[in-house]
Amino acid sequence: MSRHLVSIADLDAAEITRILDHGERYRALADEPIKKLTTLKGRTIINVFFENSTRTRTSFELAAKRLSAEAINITSSGSSAAKGESLLDTGKNLVAMHPDAIVIRHMYGGAPAMLAKALGCAIVNAGDGQHEHPTQALLDAATIRRAKGKLAGLEVAIVGDLARSRVARSNILCLAKMGARVRLVAPWTLIPRGLELIGGDETRERVRVTTRLEDGLDGADVVMMLRVQSERGEGEAPRFPNTRELSRTYGLSERTLAYAKPDAIVMHPGPINRGVEMSPLVADGPRAVILEQVSWGVAIRMAVLERAVLGLGGLGGPAQAAA
């Protein structure tokens, strides 16, 4: 069984459930005064971030530290990539230092898959270009499962910049595998053709596309808003008139949230553009679980790192508090 986590497509529903179950135990640990276990004591994890990150990088580092692993962080500006070294060479050099896992965020979709194939070290994808962000989908699934008690049968609306969102891709795959139904909501220019088919039959049956916010939110249990990723579209023709217009048609306000179920939860992977994809009243309101997503991020990444270093067999053993 592979210990890499490159794509949600690599996991089946049972493995996802196992990671979520294990994440639950680590989430409980966050409420203890001492949050450290010895599970990965003496192990080394290298976090290589070639793209900006606040939540993901901090939570991977914290996750490694809470498991007592040594965590080393490298960013592109401080690495030899800035001197022209190829990603593969950087990877080979890091592996020569014998880490137990490498966590990588890269602007090119496919970079983690390439390293997973070429290097003899467990690779964890922390977001690759517009391709995937599997740990985000897992932490989102954990957040939904805690709020709703289940994933199967839920109606989840994913709204916004679907074209450039790796978060959307991983969530579509993960939610469909877990038996939820997904509505993709955006103007046509932000919905790549065939996005609803990325998981084959699994997603074909469970995902539908709509350009009408009212239709997409109608009766939804979960509303997941995405940021407009303008930084990925530099040099491209604009995909919508302007952000004010987009916000008026597809933004989440107290008025538009009323289309969803009365107990619907509101999610966002962060960073939020307040006033663009959602109003501050909604972002800070009682239905938002956005900061809970962040808390789950640490717990789920602990489970993912444990899987990467010790294998799935390591999941489920008794947690050992650090001395």
Binding residues for ligand NCD, per CB under 6 A?
A: 55-56, 127, 133, 136, 166-167, 227, 229, 269-270
Nearer to ligand NCD (CB atom), residue 43 or residue 106:
106
Nearer to ligand NCD (CB atom), residue 39 or residue 170:
170
- Closest separation between CB of residue 133 and ligand NCD, Å? 5
Interatomic CA distance for residues 116 and 114, integer angstroms: 5
Nearer to ligand NCD (CB atom), residue 300 or residue 315:
300
Nearer to ligand NCD (CB atom), residue 23 or residue 127:
127
Nearer to ligand NCD (CB atom), residue 91 or residue 127:
127
Nearer to ligand NCD (CB atom), residue 27 or residue 166:
166
| CA proximity to 226, closest of 194, 269, 288 | 269
Nearer to ligand NCD (CB atom), residue 166 or residue 183:
166
- Closest separation between CB of residue 157 and ligand NCD, Å? 17
Q: Map the chain to HEC letters.
A: CCCCECCHHHCCHHHHHHHHHHHHHHHHHCCCCCCCECCCCCCEEEEEECCCCCHHHHHHHHHHHHCCCEEEEEEHHHCHHHHCCCHHHHHHHHHCCCCCEEEEEECCCCHHHHHHHHCCCEEEEEEECCCECHHHHHHHHHHHHHHHCCCCCCEEEEECCCCCCHHHHHHHHHHHHCCCEEEEECCHHHCCCCHHHCCCHHHHHHEEEECCHHHHHCCCCEEEECCCCHHHHCCCCCCCCCHHHHHHHHCECHHHHCCCCCCCEEECCCCCCECCCECHHHHCCCCECHHHHHHHHHHHHHHHHHHHHHCHHHCCCCCCECC
- Closest separation between CB of residue 198 and ligand NCD, Å? 16
Find the residue with minimal CB distance to ligand NCD: 227
- Closest separation between CB of residue 131 and ligand NCD, Å? 10
Nearer to ligand NCD (CB atom), residue 27 or residue 227:
227
- Closest separation between CB of residue 41 and ligand NCD, Å? 28
Question: Is there a contact between 170 and 137 (Cβ–Cβ < 8 Å)?
Answer: yes
- Closest separation between CB of residue 297 and ligand NCD, Å? 8
- Closest separation between CB of residue 76 and ligand NCD, Å? 14
- Closest separation between CB of residue 105 and ligand NCD, Å? 8
Interatomic CA distance for residues 206 and 194, integer angstroms: 13
